[in-house]
Amino acid sequence: MLASASPQRAEILRRLGIEFRVRVSSVPETHEGDPARVTVQNARRKAVAVRRETAHEAILGCDTAVALEGALYGKPADATAALATLRALAGRTHEVVSGLVLLLAEEERTAVAHTAVTFRELDEELLAWYVSMGEWRGRAGGYAIQGAGAALVRAVRGGYENVVGLPLPELLDLCPRLLVGS
């Protein structure tokens, strides 16, 4: 069970041939504090919220945030907030942090992934172009690296899939047999 509305996370799992269902929670997310702690806390809340007491299913919760100099950037509320976020990230290196929580019958496993992303210098024309595309909607940090947001990025150090929304090495560390079905 994937406790996430993220189409990117679902697509990553599909590409790997992993069978899953989506059950979305409507729990509020926290956006203040240590990025690793916040993302794991949000992932746990999502997973617990969709757990059904009678079902014995694995549930994966995930949360991703963008961190820069102590500030956390989640999903911008509107185009103005997206523009402000992208201006803050322009020409700088930020950290994409994802927290994973896997709930099993009697066990909880957690992991955190960190990826450094450096943005190019971005002028107002490029920022306006990107924001006008609307790709920032529903994206931590206001960009989608797997889409037109790739034009904003100079370098990635760490897991690319983490920036997309689901860190595969950490997921497979939580559940090593995931790809072989048992």
Quote the CA–CA distance of 68 and 74 in Å, as a whole number: 11
Please tell me the predicted confidence (pLDDT) of residue 181. Answer: 60
Per-residue pLDDT of the chain (182 residues), as tens digits, is: 899 888 999 999 999 999 899 999 888 888 889 999 999 999 999 999 998 866 678 999 999 999 999 899 989 999 999 999 999 999 999 999 999 999 998 899 999 999 999 999 999 999 999 999 999 999 999 999 999 999 999 999 999 999 999 999 999 999 988 887 64
Helix (H, G, I), strand (E, B) or coil at 70: coil
Please tell me the predicted confidence (pLDDT) of residue 145. Answer: 97
Q: Where are the domains of the chain?
A: 7-180
Strands 71-73 and 108-119: unpaired
Domain 7-180 has CATH 3.30.565.10: no
Q: Kind and range of the H or E element at 87?
A: helix 79-89
List CB contacts of 24: < 8 A, sequence separation 6 or more: 3, 4, 5, 50
Residue 2 main-chain phi, psi, to 5 deg: -105, 115
Amino acid at 157: R
Could you say which of 34, 63, 78, 123 is catalytic? 63
Q: Is there a contact between 27 and 125 (Cβ–Cβ < 8 Å)?
A: no
Q: Is there a contact between 165 and 9 (Cβ–Cβ < 8 Å)?
A: yes
Q: Tell me the whole-structure pTM to 2 decimals.
A: 0.92
Is 63 among the residues known to form the active site? yes
Please tell me the predicted confidence (pLDDT) of residue 30. Answer: 86
